[in-house]
């Protein structure tokens, strides 16, 4: 079963993604900020990460830069409510950019594309 790490400071988003992605056949773990996520990646590397950008402690941009120093090939999908970040060159190291929505069909499709069908 493929493991997805959901990194978001909003508990409601973490719970929504966790429930929806588990139903799609993935193992899901969550982190509330980049610092916690970095520890989790070092301890037990996931197969893919969904990443919010605006978070306390360590934001998504800093997390992505730190992650890429350790793992260049770990797929990361940026999930943010702020579409203007799409032009930020520091985020070009990600594998996808999704604007947050309660409908996560687009996110699921991107995950499936990057990991293959189901968990």
Planar angle of CA 4, 35, 25, nearest 5 degrees: 10
Task: Give the pLDDT of residue 83.
Answer: 62
Q: Please tell me the distance from the alpha carbon of residue 19 to that of residue 53, in angstroms, as a whole number.
A: 21
Residue bearing tokens 């973490």 = 14
Q: How far apart are the first and last CA of the chain?
A: 5
CATH number belonging to the domain at 3-115, selected among 3.90.650.10, 3.40.50.1820, 3.40.50.720, 3.40.50.2300: 3.40.50.2300
Q: What is the pLDDT along the chain (119 residues), one digit of tens a residue?
A: 999 999 999 999 999 999 999 999 999 999 999 999 999 999 999 999 999 988 888 888 899 999 999 999 999 999 988 666 556 656 666 888 888 888 899 999 999 999 986 55
How do the domains of the chain map onto residue ranges? 3-115
Confidence at residue 97, expressed as pLDDT on a 0 to 100 scale: 87
Q: Which two tokens stand for residue 63?
A: 């997390």
Owner of token pair 């409601």: 12
């Amino acid at each position: 079963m493929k493991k997805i790490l959901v990194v978001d400071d909003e508990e409601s988003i973490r719970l929504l993604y966790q429930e929806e992605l588990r139903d799609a056949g993935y193992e899901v773990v969550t982190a509330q900020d980049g610092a916690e996520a970095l520890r989790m990646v070092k301890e037990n590397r996931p197969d893919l990460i969904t990443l919010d950008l605006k978070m306390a402690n360590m934001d998504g941009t800093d997390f992505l830069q730190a992650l890429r120093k350790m793992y260049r090939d770990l797929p990361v999908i940026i999930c943010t409510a702020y579409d203007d970040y799409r032009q930020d060159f520091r985020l070009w190291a990600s594998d996808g950019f999704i604007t947050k929505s309660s409908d996560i069909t687009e996110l699921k499709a991107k995950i499936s594309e990057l990991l293959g069908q189901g968990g």
